[in-house]
Structure 1
């Protein structure tokens, strides 16, 4: 949820200042961490180190691209290519 609000805020800043390329720094570490484990569930936390924001013009339309380290674009052709982070996690049998 936080990442969604953060991305919305970044898009708003990007539109207001019309930048070509900018890197927003969030922290020193990036990755997925387990915050809490319990019998009925697991609580995860994700940290993002930085985010690159680029403006591109294609076929006369302005597009904003988001890039982050170890992220890949996700989505179907013609839809927004939002960066996504994928990591396999191990779940014990009969969990």
Structure 2
């Protein structure tokens, strides 16, 4: 990826067709130095004024050019409650700004 990136995180309600934006953030790939970017609550659109998002909350993005683990980040993994369905046809998950 190169250039401007916008990331939106939604709360998907399985019992409804609606999706609520939890937060939104934007950055340019030129801002990445090293392997990660960290955004605090004050940096996140929607979450910055939302009392449901904790004041100590943050979003950390970890980047790698290969699928191998990055030295120093070996312990990162999804929580047991995080389920990623890569075989979905949901347009929200498969959305691509270049299509």
TM range (shorter): 0.3 to 0.5
Higher-helix-fraction structure? 1
Please say which structure displays the higher CA radius of gyration: 1
TM-score (norm 2): 0.31
Higher-strand-fraction structure? 1
